[in-house]
Amino acid sequence: MTTVNNDPYLRHLFDGETVFNVYDKEITNLSVGAPGPDLLKHCVEMLNQCTRHRLEEEAKEGKYYLFQYGATAGHWECRNELAKFLSTRYGNSVMRENLLLTCGASHGLQQLLNNILSPNGVIFVEEVTYMLALEVFKQFPLIRVVTVPMKDDVVDVDALEKIVAEEKTKGNYFLNDQKMFWAMYYTISIFHNPTGMTLPPDQCKRVVEIARNNSIVVVCDDVYSLLYYGDGYPPRRLFSYDNPEDKNYKGGNVVSNSSFSKVFAPAMRFGWIESSPRVINTIKTS
């Protein structure tokens, strides 16, 4: 079996051989964040059951909404069920109104870049980060990508604060009602790719303060948040620290961008953006 791919145009790990070493029982491939066949096999019965159930409902109702153009933010019932599911799994309330369905976290990131960020803005990234996010950023040539150092394999929050303040004064950023942020900080605060680390709660609070004080948006890539094997609930997603009840709440400066790719089936391309009404409404009306 081939485990090395010599294709010079290989961009994504699954672009090459059809049999990649995700499927080799002898190899645990730590460079791939994808479920193996032992997990994917459960999709067969699950999808069979829910497809049968849903199609029977469609036939009973006789309106066939399933096959119709849908709501801009995604099917209402689907967002409702997703909100319930996430609230249970996170142990923290998720509201349907704060959700917008996407075709995966990669699509969610594109949507955010297209819609809420200044076209000549700045993206702050940690010195090591998810490689495909960097590829997506390259499609926005007027946007500058600025690296922030890390400490103990998480972002160095002091450095972030300093660099954000410096960059803020440098540009004449284009802003309007939609492109409301001059800068984005892209991070993976829970089970970071590639370091695997989680940002401690006190530092999460500081990141939210930095975002509010400097009018930037933190786009938190939460695709790994539900892959938690400990007791109780997974670490709190950064979005939950941006509490609307806070005295210095600024209308929402954090986005949780996530998907089922790591816990169900990446091929389903089922993801969501969870954010404040101002972000959700901007994308909805774009």
Q: Where does this chain bind ligand PLP (CB under 6 A)?
A: 33, 104-106, 130, 188, 193, 221, 223, 259, 261, 266, 271
Do you know the residue count of the chain? 286
Please answer whether residues 257 and 105 qualify as being in contact, where contact means their C-beta atoms are separated by less than 8 angstroms.
yes
Q: Compare residues 129 and 253 and give the one whose CB is closer to ligand PLP.
A: 129
Smallest distance from ligand PLP to CB 261, Å? 3
Q: Compare residues 22 and 146 and give the one whose CB is closer to ligand PLP.
A: 22
Please answer whether residues 155 and 148 qualify as being in contact, where contact means their C-beta atoms are separated by less than 8 angstroms.
yes
Q: What number of other Cβ atoms are within 10 A of residue 134's Cβ?
A: 13
Smallest distance from ligand PLP to CB 99, Å? 15
Smallest distance from ligand PLP to CB 113, Å? 14
Q: Compare residues 221 and 274 and give the one whose CB is closer to ligand PLP.
A: 221
Q: Compare residues 55 and 134 and give the one whose CB is closer to ligand PLP.
A: 134
109, HSE (Cβ side, Cα atoms, 13 Å): 26
Smallest distance from ligand PLP to CB 194, Å? 9
For CA atoms 34, 38, 40, 46, the dihedral sign is: negative
Smallest distance from ligand PLP to CB 115, Å? 17
**Angstrom distance (rounded) from CA 36 to CA 108:** 24
Q: Compare residues 182 and 239 and give the one whose CB is closer to ligand PLP.
A: 239
Q: Compare residues 179 and 192 and give the one whose CB is closer to ligand PLP.
A: 192
Helix (H, G, I), strand (E, B) or coil at 68: coil
Q: Compare residues 107 and 278 and give the one whose CB is closer to ligand PLP.
A: 107
Smallest distance from ligand PLP to CB 110, Å? 10
Q: Compare residues 50 and 267 and give the one whose CB is closer to ligand PLP.
A: 267
Side chain identity at 59, as an amino acid letter? A
Smallest distance from ligand PLP to CB 148, Å? 16
Alpha helices in the chain (DSSP H): 37-61, 76-90, 105-115, 131-137, 157-168, 201-214, 277-284
Alpha helices in 62-171 (DSSP H): 76-90, 105-115, 131-137, 157-168
Side by side, the strands of the sheet bearing 254-259 are 99-102, 271-274, 254-259, 217-221, 181-187, 117-126, 144-148
Q: Containing H/E element for 219? A: strand 217-221
Smallest distance from ligand PLP to CB 263, Å? 11
